[in-house]
Amino acid sequence: MISYKGKKTRLRPIHKNDIEKSLIWKNDPEIRENVQGYRFPVTERMEEIWYESALNGQSRTKVIFSIESLKDNMFVGFIELNQIDWISRRCSFGITIGEKEYQNIGIGKDSIILLFNYAFEYLNIRKICLEVAAYNTKAINLYKKIGFIEEGILKEHLYLNNKYHDIILMRLFGTEFRDANQTLTKL
């Protein structure tokens, strides 16, 4: 099985066994609010359909990996490139660290560096884009450390908890990533 190992994490292909945990994470309001996920309850059948869809879309429009902690081999989240445009060599990006005790300890950053090294060096992607809620300051700060630059704001674009929130649009070119992360983890 192909996997990519960083300093704290391993990225591996998604498994059907991952559905049980991902179902819990997708139904956790706190996690769902930070990843701007599906706003309604997710059933086991819906998650199975998502899994099959993810497998069918691999290598055409998306690449999804499960994230494991190297410390204890615990499955802790997902990371993905999606909306891949092979001609323009750009894509969008998303990450979910669903196990809360693994948040804010460097798992996200390590996983992102692994994935972006894969995207820029192996897939020949030129630009990665993301959307992040303006209230998610921890994620915004992490993205800036990795080299992302704000490109714009979608004003009052997200309705959540009886309030409208801005969405920040960010981008990262491969050259900017290499400059910001001189010590890339090699694949």
**Residues carrying an active site annotation:** 143
- From residue 23, give the alpha-carbon distance in Å to each of 28, 32, 92: 9, 11, 23
Long-range contacts (CB closer than 8 Å, 24 or more residues apart) made by 34-43: 34/133, 34/136, 34/139, 35/94, 35/95, 35/96, 36/131, 36/133, 36/158, 36/167, 37/96
